[in-house]
Chain A
Amino acid sequence: MKKLALLLALLMIMGTVLAACNAGTATTTSDGTASDGTTTVKDSLNLCINAPLTTIDPHYSQSNECDYVLYNVYEGLYHQNELTGEYEPRIAESYTVDDSGNYTFKLREGVKFHNGDPVTAQDVVFSLKRCFDSPSYGGYAAGIADVVAIDESTVQVVVKAKNAAMMNNLCYLMIISEKVVTEQGAAFGTQVALAGTGPYYFTSLDGDVEWTLQAFPDYYRGEASIKTVNYRCITDMSAALIAFESGELDWIRNIPDINWADIEANEDFNKEMIPANKVIYAACNPLGENLGDVKVRMAVAYAINKQEIIDGVLEGNGVPADFIIPPTMNAGAPDTGLVYNYDPEKSKQLLAEAGYADGIYCGSILAIADTIYEKIATIMQQQLAAVGITMDIERLEYAAAIDKLMALDFDIGMTGFLVTGDYNYLRNYMFPPAFDASGTTTFAEFSAMFDAADQELDPVARKEMNTEVNNELMEMAGFLPLFYTEANFAWAKDLEVVNYPTFPQIYEWHWNS
C-alpha cells in the first residue's frame, strides 16, 4: 500500500513538472492589460479562425478560414471591395485592356515585400504563373495564356480569350517574392516568410494552435493602426463564442444561429449581420434515380419551401434564393429570369404529367453529416414527401460526400459555395455528364452560351447574356438555389471595424482609445 501511495505521489509530481514545463510567459490582452497586471497601449487584437492554418502559401491555401488570415498578409494587383464591387488598386496603380482582352498593369512605385525588397514585374510574372498548377487558384488562373514583364514596372497578362471575369480572378492571385519563395523552397508556407506586401507579416507561426501578425511599417498605404494581431485556432464555434464573451477574443464571426438572438440582446459588444456571398443549393442530378425526367426535377423544385428551411435551420437568418449566384454581390450575375417558387400543387401536377400521380421514389438526399446540410435534407425530405416524392437521407462525412458529389453518384445532393465576386465562379461546379443527361441542353451548348457571355466585356450586355445562361440552367432544374446565408459578427465595444461578407480587412480597423 505504501509503495502504491509513493508511486502515485511520484506520478503526480511528474505531471506537475510536465505542466510547469509547458507554462507560457505573461501575455498582453488586447485591452492593454497584461496578464501580470500592468497596463500597455491598446494596439493589439485577439482573433480566431475555425480551422488550422495549414499553410501560409497564398497560392495553396486550403480553406476560406486560412484566406481570412492570408489576405491581410498578401495582396494582388488589385483588390475587389466586397461591399461596392469596385476594383481598388493595390500593387498595381492602373491598368489598360486592349482589343484582344489582354491586361497591362502599371505597378505602383514604392511597394515593398516584407523583407524590404521592392516588388518588380518579374515577381508578378513568377507569382501569376505559379498559380497555374495550384488546385486552390488554378481555376482563377485558367484564363491566362501567359504573363510577360514589359519592363521593371509593367506587366502584361495575356488571356486565352476575352474574359470579363479576368479582373475579378486576378484579385485572388497574390503576388509573392520570387526570391523568398525560391530560397525557402519546399519549406515555403510552413514557416515564417517575409514574402508578402500586405499590411501585416507573420512573426510567429504554429498553424494548429496560434500565430501572430505584426503591422508592416513600410506598407505603402501607411502602417496599420492595430500593430499586433494574435490568432488562435478554435475549431468549435461554441468554444469560440465563449472565448469571445469572456474577453479572450475581440472579434468573432460565424456565430451559430441558435446563439445569435442572445448576442443581439447583449449590450456589452457590437454586432452586425450582413448578407454573405454564399449560396446553399440542392443539386438535382439528372443521372439520379427517376430524376432523368425534367418534369420530375421541376416537381422537386416547386415542392421546396425555402423560407421554411431558413426558419428551421438558420433561425430565420437567411434570404430565399432565386438565383444560383447572389445577384447583388457578383459582377455579371442576373437578377431576373426563371424562378421556382414554392408551389406544391404545381409540383403534383408536374408529377402527374410525368406519369407519377401516385408518387415516386427518387433515391437519397446526400448530405454532409453534422452540418446544416443534414438539417436541410431532413426538412426537404418532408417537403418532398408532402407532394408524393419519397426520398431517403444519406449522411456521409465530408471527404466521402465530396467524393460522391464529384463522381455524380447521388440523386439529390445538398451543398453550397462561397462566391468570389463574379458570376463566372459558377464554372467550378459544372459537370458535363449531368448536362448531357438533362434532356434540356447539352454541356457543349451550355458552355458555348457561357463562354460567349464571359467574352462580353460590356457589363450590361454581359448581364443580359448571363440571364439567358441562367434561364438555361434553371430550365434544366439541376441547380436548385435554396437560400443565401448571412454573415454575422460581434466585436468589442471600443473596436471600430468595417465588416465585409467574406474576407476581413484588419487594416481598416482601429481601437477607440
Chain B
Amino acid sequence: MVTFVVNGRTRSLEVDPETPLLWVLRDNLKLTGTKYGCGRSVCGACTVLVDGKAKRSCVTPVGEVAGKQVLTVEGLPQNHPLLQAWLAEEVSQCGYCQPGQIMSAAALLTEKPKPTDSDIDEAMRGTLCRCGTYNRIRKAIHAAAGKGGTP
C-alpha cells in the first residue's frame, strides 16, 4: 500500500511500489494530463512536481513518493499565471509536451521567480518539443514571471 497526496488529495493504493509514478497517475488514478514520451527520462513529457521539485515520473518509482505531495498539471488552478501566459502567447501546437513544459516551468519559477534566458535554457533543456514551440515557451515563462508565477 502506497500513500501519497496528489493535487491536494490523499490517495492510498495497492500497487507494486516499483511501478513508475507516471503509470500510477495515468493507469490507476486516470490522471492522463501527465504524458508518456520515452519512459527513460530523456524527453520530460512526464514531469510532475514532488514536494515542489521537478521529477521525471516515468523513472520515479511510486514507492519513492510515499508520504509526499505530488502536483500534476491538473492540480494547477485555471488562473495560474503560467496557464494564463501559455494561452496569451498561444504556445501549444500539438500540445503533447505542454503539461511537462508547464510543470518544469512551475518548478523553475519556484526556485527563480525572475529567471534569465540562461536560467530558462538550463531548467527547460530536458523537456522536448517536436513542434518547436521553444521561443513561445520562453516568452510565456517571462510573462508569467512578471506576474509572480509560483504555484
Please determine whether chains A and B interact with each other in the same assembly.
no
Binding site for B on A (CB under 8 A): none
